[in-house]
Amino acid sequence: MRIILADHHAQPRWALKLLLDEQPEFDIISEAREAQGLLLLAGERRADLVLVDQDLPGLGINDLIARLHELAPGLIIIIMSSKPECSTPLLEAGADAFISKVDQPDWLLEKLYKYAKQVDRKEDADRNESP
């Protein structure tokens, strides 16, 4: 599964990359530090999933979610935040999932594996539909 990491702080991006690099199923294809950079990457790269910090600078998170859906239909958007109370509004805005930054890394991996299975099934279906 091809993943873009988007966080304006270097340390969380580094920690996520370290965690995900240990998993052969996941490929970090790019990183963004602000919303405009993420939107550019989402439009250019063929990512399956994006992990986005709720406080990514440059655009409100609800607008960012909507723009990501426009640029890359089918892109799985997981919002990360240290504010669990924000999960419901973010999910209502179109995020596929919410991860609290205080959750254990295993929780994030469990979510990512769930989405990786969906991506694999979709790719298999797309291959079977090709003439």
* Three-state DSSP class for residue 25: coil
Query: Could you give the domains of the chain?
Result: 2-126 (3.40.50.2300)
pTM: 0.89
The pLDDT, as a whole number, for residue 121 is 74
Which ranges of the chain have pLDDT less than 70? 123-131
Residue-wise pLDDT for 42-78, tens only, equals 989 889 999 999 999 999 999 999 999 999 999 999 9
Contact assessment for residue 98 and residue 81, using Cβ atoms and an 8 Å cutoff: yes
